[in-house]
Amino acid sequence: MPKIQKVLALLYGHKNFKKYFEPIVVSLGPIHHGKKEYQAVEDFKLGMASKFVEESGRSGEFLLGKIAKNIKQLKQYLNQKVVEKYDDETLAWMLFVDGCAVLQSIHSAFKPGLIKKLKIKNDQMAI
């Protein structure tokens, strides 16, 4: 089964490596998690995740529990080297926040006025 993994070391020397393989604004998932260049967006992701939970009609505990319950299976989709530094609880929380934030971003793009309420521009949302 294909796995989500870091970019091959062979490509690190490519002149446009960062342009094609590094996130521009936000990290999603464990590969770039915790890097200082993406920390400014962490509060925004938490806010988006919170909004998603609020609008979902489910509790955060319920949604996080679904991820935690399936964390062993979810880890199978990631290269072992990508997840080895995270315990199951930390990884489940990361996937919960990032997943909810992405889903809320998609929802916001199609809900008139919500992006304006979040005080961000359409092009910022795209990035």
pLDDT by residue for the chain (127 residues), tens only, comes to: 555 555 555 555 666 656 666 666 677 788 778 778 878 788 888 988 999 999 999 999 999 999 999 999 999 888 888 888 899 999 999 999 999 998 988 887 777 666 566 666 656 655 5
Contact 30, 83 (CB under 8 A): yes
Closest to 64 (Cα-Cα) out of 34, 86, 85, 88: 88
Pair of tokens at residue 73: 């299976």
Closest to 111 (Cα-Cα) out of 95, 97, 125, 96: 125
Pair of tokens at residue 32: 């770039």
